[in-house]
Amino acid sequence: MKDLIETIVRPLVDFPEDVHVNVHEEDQRVTYKLSVNKSDMGKVIGKQGRVAKAIRTVVYAAGSSQQKKIFLEIVE
């Protein structure tokens, strides 16, 4: 899943080397924390959050086969 997130986000940004995904697993949930360069934050979020919503939709669909709930957070 981490690779999927990086594969989706890297082509969108100007600084692909600054794309990092941290994974936090708990009992019933897995949280993926996506961090990008500050200047790329707007590109990842998109107008009215459309790009972020699209990324989350793909990640949630890919993780639907898992027993845990998947969350994607975009952090600075």
Q: Report the pLDDT value the prediction gives residue 67, as an integer from 0 to 100.
A: 85
Q: Which domains does the chain have, with CATH numbers?
A: 2-75 (3.30.300.20)
Report the amino acid identity of residue 63: G
Start-end of H helices in the chain: 2-9, 41-45, 50-62
Q: Report the pLDDT value the prediction gives residue 59, as an integer from 0 to 100.
A: 92
Q: Report the pLDDT value the prediction gives residue 64, as an integer from 0 to 100.
A: 85
What's the distance, Cα to Cα, between the start and end of the chain in Å? Answer: 20
Q: Report the pLDDT value the prediction gives residue 65, as an integer from 0 to 100.
A: 84
**pLDDT tens, residue order, the chain (76 aa):** 999 999 999 999 999 999 999 999 998 999 999 999 999 999 999 999 999 999 999 999 998 888 889 999 999 7
